[in-house]
DNA sequence: CATGAATGAGCGTTCATTCAT
DNA sequence: AATGAATGAACGCTCATTCAT
């Protein structure tokens, strides 16, 4: 009875550990080569298991891709969701920029997976883009518009401002190779400098004088 | 004798026409699926010829990819190269932003191809990144630094400023699907709005008061 | 001690029940797709158990196949074995035809499995074909030959007569789909009509005038 | 110009030769193992070419199967179609039986393919079974019924009579292994004996006295 | 220049079988 | 007696590339 419980727990742990290993391997491969360019062979090898065993956990390539994407999308939305209407515009924008830069630094593969999916047409996340993503951008755009109306921010199209923040912060994950090539090769402070530069330009450009 | 010459000229013209058709088809396919995800079948069909004939012009997939990339890189560099030391900082930055937005609007596939290559690690353009690209960024960074030293621009890390402009302008090509989903679906003025927003924020943020 | 005995009995009963379920499932799948076309997955699902558990009872696909075949062969032989030398030829042939038609009606899968195995070359039942089957056919052929010699049956090659009966009766199981398509679609009396037709033609053709 | 024509002819011949080789190989493999049990590897090897080259001619397994089936069905129907209303019943039935036995002798694989398809449910030929096949059986049944009405044949259900002829004649192709095992092993006259036996039983059983 | 024919390597996926529990 | 986890081999099919013409 007890044995059985332990054995079941052990089994569950194995399953969880393997699922995590697979998702991580899949993230790294899908993000680098896109859906079509990625191969299960490479993912399986990175996850340290045979291809059929990988398919035991995710029975098709597509379902694995979707699983990885879903995890990524949730992470991706979180920082924007945290932007509060009743906060100080400078603080809120600053915090958002920092959070996004932190994501680029700490989980660049997630950013690249998202970029790759969009580059390739976004077919797998059409619903996400037109649903939750558009909804939250609409909501936060209203907040920014209110700040502008209240004179707490200089006039700017809120959606394009959000695009600017997305683009500039994600650039350090998605275009990492280019960034490294242009900067002194082992500039480990690049994320801090990036964050400062973006915050400075955006805030100086938008805060009232 | 004369016939032969005419025939040679004809052949050459055919060759040129076909090369162009192939490069265009290849650009659209490589940019949509990445190097590994693209297939010669799809490119050949888009170029209106058989696969063996395509391989007559570019004997391997890689060489076709490199040829497309090289065309793209040259285009990509041109606007930055046009930034002049003796111009007005506001004009020069403004013009650069506009030129890059125009590229995103008029040739989004080129932008996406470049993004895709970098996402995949940039192995095919390592030399370009560390050579001509780094060189020109270094050169233009010196110009910006001079502007700052002369008090014509507020202090900012020149390289990260350049990254900001790249990121924000290319975003409208690379993330087109996302941009369309977030904006009112048929917002045909998005490139103009983008250009205005970016210029406003960057210039207001950086021009001396 | 007693507990153990009960438990052993219980285990045995379970084993028997499961074996039956497996054999039945296997019969339906093997007969539908042939040995190579059948999958253990499908058999296990039909038998209501996991694939490894199925393999606990029959450790390889082949051994399961052979087990099902053997059950089928025994059934298959029984009616012919029942043909008696001292009976009336008309009665004996009539009874044999009826018994075979009944088999086709009541257990068409068995007939199809046998047909499938023979179609595939009969490798799994070579010994059966050249051993018991040939022996019983030889024996019954002698009976028929005696009937002919005694003037109770008109001259006919006994073996080919047996083939005729096999072929015509099994046809209603093996070619069921075709038979249904040709007849009015829900002709439920087809087995009775078949039996009558075969008996009439064979007996009228062979009984002395 | 002439060269071109020759070359085109050569190419066409190659194609035809290969198609024939493939169809023949496919017939032998599909007829032995059924659709699911057959493998392209085996067919390709038998046809003397690589698997991708086989798929160059028939781009999917299913299309190859359908091609083989269609050839077979046409052959299969021909003898029945030849049965004439204004002929003598004895002659017509006799000729039909002979023609079918000849098919079993000369192209047993075709017969087996058909049997295999029907055994496995006939999904690929549903339309054939309910369309042309049923139509021709209906037509010929009417002829037989007319013979009976005219007193030229004793009463019998025409459709079941046709089934009898099908079953008995095809038996020598479909159950060849069994037939060989039961008969003296190298009985090369089995087709002649079969034909005689079937004709005798059927005609004696059905012709008026 | 152009293409039909051909193939080795590899793709996503299935399958019979094994192992540990 | 039963099953989750695992895998080598093979399956149908695709791909970049070659060859002959």
Distance between A95 CA and the closest CA of chain B, angstroms: 18
Q: Please report residues of B whose CB lies closer than 8 A to that of A31.
A: 119
Residue C88 shares a structural domain with residue C15: no
Mark whether C45 and C81 lie in a shared domain: no
CB contact under 8 A, D183 and C118: no
Our CA-based measurement puts residue C57 at a distance from the nearest CA of chain D, in whole angstroms, of: 24
CA distance linking residue A77 with residue A61, whole number of Å: 25
| Cβ-Cβ contacts under 8 Å, A208 against chain B | none
C159: nearest CB among D157, D182, D205? D182
A43 within domain boundaries: yes
User: What is the per-residue DSSP string for B89-155?
Assistant: HHHHHHHHHHHHHHHHHH-HHHHHHHHHHHHTT-GGGHHHIIIIIHHHHHHHHHHHHHHHHTTSS--
**Dist CA A123 CA A144 (whole Å):** 30
Q: Tell me how far apart the alpha carbons of residues C51 and B35 are, in angstroms, rounded to a whole number.
A: 41
Asked if A129 lies within 8 A of B177 by C-beta distance, the reply is yes
Find the residue closest to E1 using CA and C1' atoms. B53
The residue behind tokens 């597509």 is A62
For residue B64, is it within any domain?
no
Are A121 and B32 an interchain contact pair (Cβ–Cβ within 8 Å)? yes
19-78 on B, CB < 7 Å from strand E = 49-53, 55-56
Give the pLDDT means over successive 10-residue stretches in chain A (209 positions): 59 82 97 95 96 97 97 92 94 97 96 96 95 96 97 96 98 97 84 96 91
Where does a domain end: B59, B85, B101?
B59
Domain co-membership, D149 together with D183: yes
Are B181 and A118 a contacting pair, CB within 8 Å? no
Q: What pLDDT is attached to residue D13?
A: 74
All residues at 6 or more sequence positions from D10 whose CB lies less than 8 Å from its CB, including other chains: none
Query: Do residues B192 and B132 share a domain?
Result: yes
Shared domain check, B184 and B118: yes
Residue B61 has pLDDT above 90, yes or no: yes
Distance between CA atoms of residues D37 and B118, nearest Å: 47
pLDDT digits (tens, 9 = 90+) for B132-152: 999 999 999 999 999 999 999
* Segments in chain D below pLDDT 70: 1-11, 185
Protein contacts on strand E: list nucleotides below 7 Å from a Cβ.
Answer: 1-21
Least Cα distance to D103 among D195, D38, D189 occurs for: D195
Q: Please tell me the predicted confidence (pLDDT) of residue B184.
A: 75
Which nucleotide has the shortest C1'-to-CA distance from C63? E16
Q: What is the DSSP letter of B58?
A: S
Mean pLDDT across chain B? 93
| Interface residues 14-53 of C with strand F (CB < 7 Å) | 14-15, 18, 49-53
Query: Per residue in C132-174, pLDDT tens?
Result: 999 999 999 999 999 999 999 999 999 999 999 999 999 999 9
Going by C-alpha positions, the residue among A108, A30, A109, A111 that lies closest to residue A65 is A30
Question: What pLDDT does A209 receive?
Answer: 77
Tell me: do B155 and B191 sit in the same domain. yes
pTM, two decimals, is 0.91
Summarised one tens digit per residue, pLDDT across range C8-41 is 677 677 778 889 999 999 999 999 999 999 999 9
* CA end-to-end span of chain C: 73
- Residue B18: predicted pLDDT: 87
A157, A86: one domain:
yes
CA dist D31 → C33, C126, D174 (Å): 12, 19, 9
Residue B26: domain span: 9-59
Nearest residue by alpha-carbon distance to C1' of F19: B52
Distance CA(A47)–CA(A113), nearest Å, equals: 17
- Residue C188 structure tokens: 């439920």
What is the secondary structure of A116-157 as a DSSP string?
A: HHHHTT-GGGHHHIIIIIHHHHHHHHHHHHHHHHTTSS----
Give per-residue burial for C149-171: e unless 16+ CB within 10 Å, then b. eeeebeebbbbbbbbbbbbbbbb
Q: What is the pLDDT of residue B185?
A: 65
Instruction: Calculate ∠ Cα A190-A194-A196, nearest 5°.
Output: 120
Number of domains in chain C: 2
Which nucleotide has its C1' atom closest to residue C17's CA?
F1
> What spatial distance separates the first Cα and last Cα of chain D, rounded to whole Å?
72
Residue pair B199/A201 in contact (Cβ under 8 Å)? The answer is: no
Provide the token pair at A167. Answer: 């683009």
Which 107-166 positions of B have CB less than 7 A from strand E?
none
To the nearest 10°, report the CA torsion of C75, C77, C78, C83.
160
Q: What pLDDT sits at residue D202? A: 96
The answer on B176 and B134 residing in a single domain is yes
Q: What is residue C1's predicted lDDT score, i.e. its pLDDT?
A: 53
Same domain, C39 and C105: no
Output the pLDDT for position D11.
66
Q: Which two tokens stand for residue C22?
A: 């497996």
Protein residue closest via CA to C1' of E9: D52
Q: Which chain A residues contact residue B174 at CB under 8 A?
A: 115, 118-119
C3 within a domain of the structure (yes/no): no
Span between the terminal Cα atoms of chain B, in Å: 73
pLDDT at B169 over 80: yes
Closest CA to C84 of C103, C99, C73: C99
Does residue B36 sit in the same domain as residue B125? no
Task: Say if residue D22 is in the same domain as residue D112.
Answer: no
- Of D147, D71, A37, D120, nearest to B117 by C-alpha is A37
**Cβ neighbours around D14 below 10 Å, total:** 10
Shortest distance between the Cα of C177 and any Cα of chain D, in A, equals 6
Residue C51 has pLDDT above 70, yes or no: yes
CATH of the domain at A121: 1.10.357.10
In angstroms, the separation between the Cα of residue C166 and the nearest Cα of chain D is 8
CA distance B124 to B35: 10
Nucleotide whose C1' lies closest to the alpha carbon of residue D54:
E6
- Domain membership of residue A2 (yes or no) is no
pLDDT digits (tens, 9 = 90+) for C55-80: 999 999 999 999 999 999 999 999 99
Q: Within a 13 Å sphere around the CA of B146, how many CA atoms are in the beta-carbon half? A: 12
Residue B180 domain-assigned? yes
| pLDDT at residue B13, as a whole number | 76
Measure B65 CA to E17 C1' (Å): 44
Look at residue B4 and tell me if it is in a domain: no
**Residue B175 confidence (pLDDT):** 98
CB B52 under 7 Å to nucleic chain F: yes
For D174, nearest residue in chain C (alpha carbons): C119
Reported confidence tier of residue C4, pLDDT bands at 50, 70, 90: low
Do residues A49 and A64 lie in contact, with contact meaning Cβ atoms separated by under 8 Å? no
C186 or D32: which carries more pLDDT confidence?
A: D32
Domain membership of residue D111 (yes or no) is: yes
Residue A105 and residue A29 share a domain: no
Chain A: closest CA distance from residue B67 (Å): 20
Which residue's CA lies closest to nucleotide E11 at its C1' atom? A39
Residue B8 CA to residue B19 CA, distance in Å, equals 16
Of A36, A134, A171, which is closest to B163 when you measure between CB atoms? A171
Does C94 fall in a domain? Answer: yes
Nucleotide nearest to B36 (CA to C1'): F15
* 8 Å CB contact between C114 and C73: yes
| Residue D171 half-sphere exposure toward CB, CA atoms < 13 A | 29
Q: Do C164 and D197 touch (CB under 8 A)?
A: yes
* Phi, psi at B73, each rounded to 5°: -65, -40
Report pLDDT digits (tens) over B88-132: 999 999 999 999 999 999 999 999 999 999 999 999 999 999 999
pLDDT band at B15 (very low <50, low <70, confident <90, very high): confident
Q: What single string gives the DSSP state of each residue in chain D?
A: -HHHHHHHHHHHHHHHHHHHHHHHHHHHHHHHHHHHH--HHHHHHHHTS-HHHHHHHSSSHHHHHHHHHHHHHHHHHHHHHT--TTS-HHHHHHHHHHHHHHHHHH-HHHHHHHHHHHHTT-GGGHHHIIIIIHHHHHHHHHHHHHHHHTTSS----HHHHHHHHHHHHHHHHHTHHHHHHHS-TT-TTHHHHHHHHHHHHHHHHHS--
């Amino acid at each position: 009875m007890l044995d059985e419980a332990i054995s079941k727990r052990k089994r569950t742990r194995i399953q969880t550990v393997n699922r995590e290993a697979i998702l991580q391997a899949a993230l790294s491969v899908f993000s680098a080569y896109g859906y079509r360019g990625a191969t299960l062979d490479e993912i399986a090898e990175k996850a340290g298991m045979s291809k059929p065993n990988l398919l035991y956990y995710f029975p098709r390539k597509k379902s694995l891709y979707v699983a990885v994407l879903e995890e990524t999308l949730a992470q991706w939305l979180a920082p924007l969701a945290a932007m509060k209407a009743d906060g100080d515009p400078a603080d809120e924008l600053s915090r958002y920029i920092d959070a996004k830069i932190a994501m680029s630094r700490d989980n660049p593969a997630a950013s690249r997976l998202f970029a790759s999916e969009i580059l390739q047409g976004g077919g797998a996340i059409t619903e996400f883009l037109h649903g939750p993503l558009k909804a939250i951008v609409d909501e936060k755009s209203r907040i920014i518009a209110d700040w502008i109306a209240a004179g707490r921010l200089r006039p700017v199209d809120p959606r394009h401002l959000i695009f600017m923040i997305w683009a500039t912060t994600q650039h350090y994950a998605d275009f990492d190779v280019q960034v490294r090539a242009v900067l002194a090769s082992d500039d480990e402070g690049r994320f801090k400098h990036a964050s400062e530069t973006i915050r400075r330009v955006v805030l100086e450009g938008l805060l009232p004088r």
